[in-house]
Structure 1
Amino acid sequence: MGNTFRRVGKDTKIFLFSLLVVVFFLTSCTEPILNNDTITLIKPTNGLSTVPFNNTEFVFEGKVNTQYEVIVKEESTGNIVVQKAVTAQSKTVTVTLEKGMLKPSTAYIWYVRTKGSDAKTSELWKFSTKGNSAPTISNLKPNGTTGHPFGALPLTWDAQDSDGDDLKFYVKIKREGDVSPSPTVVATNTYVAKNLSQLTSYNWSVVAEDPWGAKSTEKFATFSTKANEAPQRIELLFPEDGATDVKFNNLAIKWEGFDADYEDLKYSVTLISGSNTNSLLSGSTNTTYTVASLKVKTTYTLKIKAVDTYGESLEKSFTFTTKDNTPPLAPSLTEPASGVNINFAKQNSCTFRWEPSTDPDGDSVYYTFVLIDPYGNPKSRGPIYENYYTIDDLKGELTVGKRYGWKVIANDSHGGTSTSETSYFTTKSNTAPTISNPYPANGASGLANRISKFSWTATDPDGDSLTFDIYIGDSPDRLTLAASDLTTPEYVTDRLFDFSKTYYWKVVVSDGFNDPVESDIWSFKISDQNYAPTIPELLSPFNGQMDVSFKGATLTWKASTDRESSQGELTYYLYVGKADDMNLVATITGEGNPQISRTVTNLEPLTTYYWRIEVKDGFGNYAYSTTWSFTTKKNLAPSTPKNPNPADGSSLPLGKITFAWQATDPDADQLSYELYISIASNFNPVLKQVTTTQSNYEWTPPSTGTYYWYVVAKDPYGGKAVGPTWSFEVTK
């Protein structure tokens, strides 16, 4: 037994060794599999303690076109302070944080993961940000200089922050000997000091502070202001001095004053036209003023006086001339439409409307309504400030049966006018139509389940053209529109009504002048003798049958029976066609046989047709078969033309020749033929080409020689057969 165990151990070692060799061989024959999804952190390196806290760069390697998130947490609290998404455009990815996202002297942990999930993450690395450095201030300007303007003086300085922080600045300005004021806080290294005093010495200082509370040393400077000067000049920006064609409505006057001391000047503005003087502004800092309304084609003088803080002033005059007036645009009439009839029987008043006019000069527009009587005399009404005018009493102001015109004049405040086109209308006193004599009559009962035609009598005293809408339903409260805009007093339908059921219907008539008139609601009841014929049973061709002759398909069905009507009194309607276009092709009556057949012709080859039967008894009840289909057979081409005359290779004397041949069609189609004759075996050129329905043709060759010919046989469905080329010799 000991030897047995030793053999087993030895065999096992041999097996394991062989297995290792196989595995080594297999792995050496394949490409190494790389984990392309690995996320490798690069920067800031793990444990780094001098990382900038502004514009910090995080660099890692990942997979191109993959979305990642850079996560940064505060180590002491575990709070996430950065969670920034990025798509890797290349293997190496750099993410730069904005200022303020990290704090100085703080320990952080960072890692990268696939976006939205910790299923795939990098290692967790640590870093600490560097300590904060205070900002510095230098180069204050002005400093120790004199003669500066006191209206507005820019103060500037240089600021440095080694951490790149965004700084704010505390600026103080005071006259020598005054108490130090509260600082003004600004976000840039420039501050404009305004409303200083002339000939005065000032001290000023600046302190910079970063977001972490570190402040610079306060820096000081001095300057002195100059003596006051009067305003230097005034410029008219709009309208230009001497301008013509200046608008006279809502004119926005703009000007600008210039002062060597950069003071905020105050203006007094006067507008003069002839003996009229109009004060527009007094002691205002505004440099614009809108004049609502000026005279047209008038020259104005504009006086502008500028006064500074110390009462020094400058006055200047300008001129401009307003443009001529442009009349408003002509109104566009909208209703009533030209040519309409105004019906006194329908309305007591009428409102005339038009599109509002616009004025190129911006003037307010008012209107004059002009009514033109049947004799052409205009009568004006106005002023009207809306875009409509109402005649409240038509019968009192107008005469029935007459043609009137109307137009509208648009007016502006400067005498400009424009007139619309003239629109016309005719007055009528039109009586509404009436409806009577319904069929089916009101209350009719025992009716067939198909009422092929509804009818009624419509009377219109004025002989107007009428249109009708018909409504049908199973309740007086549930009538639905069955047809609209009918031009005759009838409605034809193939609708089947339910047996033993009462229906309701009404008609609405319109004459084009009056409101639509509704008839009474009428009713009828369908017979309770629910004995329609038996359903026709289709027999052949069977449903879906293929290869049916397109020359003539015989359709057969089993005759119906009926309790009230004999078989010969039944009427059958045969419908045949394509899926979306079935047509009535035959109406069959007086059939007493148990099976009925009809043959349909002129079908197309290889086409699917659908057919069905409707049957009607003498009482008007219908029954319908199912719908079957069949597909016609494929068209077969004619046989190849044969038995030529003249015989192939024959010799004939010069003179009239009778060409003849034979061809048949397996579908018994009527054939046509094309005969080609040439003196060249390749038929280039063709000497004679003939199309005929006969299988022979007479022709006289023009000269001796060898002639070639062949025949093409064609059927009406595109089938054709090209015969062989035959030849003959013509001799003298």
Structure 2
Amino acid sequence: MLASSLALLLLAAWPTGTRAQSHFTNCVSNTGSDATLIVPLAAAPSLNGVPLETDDEIAVFTPDGLCAGFLRWTEIDAAFTIWGDDSLTPEKDGFVAGEALAFRLWDASESREVPNDRITVSYDDQRTFYRTEGTFAPGAIYALRRFEARQAPDVPTLTAPANGAADVGRDLSLHWNPAAYATAYDVEVSVRPDFSSLVAQQREVTATSYRANGLAYGTRYYWRVRATAGEGGTSAWSTAWSFTVEDEPLTPPDAPLPAEPVAGAKDLDTQVTIAWNAVPDVLYYTLQLTTDPAFQTLAYEQDGLRSTSVDVPDLAFGTTYYWRVNATGHGGTGPWSTVRSFSTRPAPPAAPSLLLPTHAATDQPRTPTLTWQATAGADTYTVQVATDAAFGALVEEATERTETSFTTRALDYATTYFWRVRASGATGTGAWSATRSFTVRTAPQPPAAPALLAPEDGAASLSLPVTLNWAATEHATSYTLHLARSADFAPLELVQTDLSAPGLSLDQLDPGTTYYWRVRAHGEGGNGSWSTTRSFSTRPAPPSAR
């Protein structure tokens, strides 16, 4: 009775650590028969001598593999319930009294379960109510004194040089993939496939590579690696791989003769092709480029070059560079060539800063004016306008512009356009500006039919000049007037186009004649409808004198 009460107090006072578990999800619970396992921080639960991390999990299993309780470790004192068998149910759903407690560990960082045979535990025997035996007893309280898990590391996988590689150098690096749980590696190199005779042996290598130097020419070597994990033990040896060292050369190659650029070349681009004359018996060339004539610090170095030229990109503007090259063959590496220098051209103008329209501007006119800030050192500008951000579909390209603005041709309504600018000057052409976009406004509607004002329809005996007036129409930019002697306007007596004002005076009309007239408006949205038709007649001619 005392043990049960203490267990309840412990579980209430100590975190159980069983929430948000990620692995031991099928454990039994609430069987009615239970014990309590305390995992104090002082027990220092560990895996291969390293303290457990948050979210690792400790579980207790019955001998027949039933999970009867678990704990998600949070690096604080904790306790959890170990469930016993419910005698009221026919199936076995927990521990039976006297069964041994079997532990398992879930290593969250490696997503791997450590079995019971790799775990050592001991129990606290300092309190009389603690159970010190690792067998189940209903109502018992266990407190761990020690929890040590030992997981052997995985077998390493070799990566380079490739198995069976030939013509490798005498000095090379052996590489392998990291093995889970490994803290170090043992490496062996031999001329025999059974490794009965070793030419190199290195223990406790902490990197995943090993440098083998001074190997014999024309010799096949075998190598293998195994992982160690301290208290976790040692893995099996990896599969053995082999490589063959190149044959012994006679003499190193001569120094190459520099070819391009010519010595002291100036105003070169920032991508330079460096070339030299070939020398015989070469495996590869090494090129060094620096801004320091003593070659103490390098701006560029490339070895393993099979050709006699290389394109060096991304050089700095307005900088003097020094370069040299040597050759490596079967006989070793030859001397450096003579040093040459060249200078790159001054920096071109910077990318312009765009001003208007603002980025993603909407409701823009069909002929917007694009503006940008002047760039120091710029003589001219190039402007591109396209319907795609990659500028594959150009609709405008203006080059050699001296102004810092550009007005486009009439663009399509309701269309998004992209634009950019770059500057050119005496030092070259600079980079494109940032790309901006704008959207042309929606096409306006054609203007409405004008309302005719004067003269009134059917007005008679009008004196010359006759002034025709109509109401101005919204969105109208001009008007067209038709005047005829018939209501069907065939034939036309007068056609007056491009009228900017809503009126026109006529003084060349025949007397005593009926005329018909109509007007329509024109605007950016197109041609409007004709107005209604009106008529008027002019004053008859006076009688002739007798």
Same fold (TM over 0.5): no
Task: Work out which structure has the larger RCO, using CA pairs closer than 8 Å and 6 or more positions apart in sequence.
Answer: 2
Q: Aligning the two structures, in what range does the TM-score lie when normalised by the shorter sequence?
A: 0.3 to 0.5
TM-score (norm 2): 0.32
TM-score normalized with structure 1 length: 0.26
